Amino acid sequence: MNYEAPMPKIAEAVKQIIKEQSPIHVYYVGKQIAPLLCNFKVTNKVMNMLDSIISVYSKTYGWKKTGDYLWDVSNKSVLPKKPADDNFIRDIECIAPEELCEAMRFIIGKSFGIDKPGLFKAVTREYGFLRCTAVMEKQLELGYKLLLSTKKAKCIDGKHSLI
């Protein structure tokens, strides 16, 4: 027998997901709540339920949606989340630019004069990717621009260092 969890129970699950994984792409939240709606994959039904939950519970639980990402507003810092194993590697398009920015900042801090291609390669390796595609590079570029615009790092003669 199929049983769908009621909306408040699903909202509690979403609350826990956001608390533990913020910032998180809405697709990955949908993927995690799909079984609660008797689905094995993210469908329109799942995304519609998630949209409803976000609109009803965001203020109560302290979430905000920025673009395609859900944030726990009580968490002021962004920590890069390296995959625990190779079985769950997120698509790089689903990693928030703010998280990529922090990953780049961490790598620059551990490096001596790393250049931009080397930085992008190091970030993609840390997230479990074997190579950097054009699509990946586009997302990494968003994180890179954020890194420089927030003055967390500087680039002099093609080499990066922390400020």
- Write the pLDDT tens digit of every residue in 114-152: 999 999 999 999 998 888 899 999 999 999 999 999 999
3-state class (DSSP) for residue 40:
coil
pTM of the predicted protein model:
0.84
Calculate the alpha carbon distances from 101 to 147, 148, 149 in Å.
Answer: 5, 9, 10
Digit-coded pLDDT (tens) for 49-62: 999 999 999 999 99
